[in-house]
Amino acid sequence: MINQYKDEDKVLLAVDCIIFGFDNEELKLLLIKRDFEPEKGKWSLMGGFLKKSEVLDEAASRVLQHLTGLNDVYMEQLYSFSKIDRDPVERTISVAYFALINIADHNSELSESHSAQWFGLEDMPELIFDHNAMVKHAIRRLRYRTATQPIGFELLPEKFTMRQLQKLYEAIFDHELDKRNFTKKINAMDLLVRLDEKDMTSSKKGSFLFKFDEQKYKKKVMDGFSFKV
C-alpha cells in the first residue's frame, strides 16, 4: 500500500501533567524548575514527548512516574493546546493531563532531583509557555469531576477523617461548607466505611477514621453521581 499521507505535516506531541496534591489544608500543584533551555530556571509543569510506541495515556503516566515514582494514579486527559508559538523551539502540540496524588505517597527524593516543589494555588509562580492556561483548565475540570464523581478520595490517604475530606472539598471548590450538611451529604452517598479507629492527632477527643468502599465507589462512578456546593 502506498502511503497516501506522506505529504502531510508532522509535529511534535508533548504531554504536560498538572499534578494535584492535598496537604490537609490546601490544594497544591507539583511544579518543576526547568534546568534546560528554553526558559531555563523558570517554573513549569512536568512534561515530556510522546514516543511513537506509546499512547498518550502511557506517555502521561511515564512522565508522572518519572517525577513522583508513582504508578496507578488517577489521571485524566484534559485538553490539547496548539498555539503556533507556544514552544519557541519547534512547533509542538501539547496534550495536558491532570493527576491526583496523595502527597505523602510520592517519592520526594525523585521530585527533589527534578527541583520540583509543591505550590498552593494562591502562591504559585508564573509558569512558562501556556502552562498557566493549562492549570486554569485543570482546576475547572477537577471541580466538575468532583461534582460528578467521588474522585476526591484519590487525593487522600487510605484512612481519613470526615474533616479532612471536608477540607479537601472546600479546597477544591474554594468555598466553605457546613460541617453538618457536609456529613449528611457524604453519608447519603453511602461510599464510606467508618473504622473503629480514631485519628488522635487533630484533637483530644479524636476523630473517627473512614475509608471508602471500593466496590460501591466503582458502582457510583458508573451510575453517575452528583455533589453540589
Partner DNA sequence: TCAAAAGTGTTTTACATACACCCATGA
Partner DNA sequence: TCATGGGTGTATGTAAAACACTTTTGA
Footprint on this chain of its own copies (rule: CB under 8 A): 1, 3-5, 8-13, 36-38, 49-57, 77, 79-80, 82-84, 89-93, 95
Residue 66: partners with Cβ closer than 8 Å, 6 or more residues away: 46, 48, 110, 114
In degrees rounded to 5, what are phi and psi of residue 51?
-95, 155
Q: Which does 203 bind (CB under 5 to 8 A by kind): DNA, its own copies, none?
A: DNA
Residue 38 near residue 32, CB atoms below 8 Å: no
Residue in 83, 136, 140, 184 binding DNA, rule: CB under 7 A: 184
Q: Which does 83 bind (CB under 5 to 8 A by kind): its own copies, DNA, none?
A: its own copies
- Residue 208 binding DNA, by CB under 7 A: yes
* Residues between 123 and 182 that touch DNA (CB under 7 A): 161-163, 178-181
- Residue 206 binding DNA, by CB under 7 A: yes
Stretch that binds DNA, among 52-60, 107-115, 122-130, 184-192 (CB under 7 A): 184-192
User: Rounded to whole angstroms, how far apart are CA atoms 86 and 12?
Assistant: 12
Q: State how far the alpha carbon of 142 is from the alpha carbons of 37, 49, 103, 202, in Å.
A: 31, 24, 17, 27
Q: State how far the alpha carbon of 57 is from the alpha carbons of 44, 61, 143, 187, in Å.
A: 20, 6, 21, 33
Residues that bind DNA (CB under 7 A): 161-163, 178-181, 183-185, 188, 198, 202-208, 226, 228-229
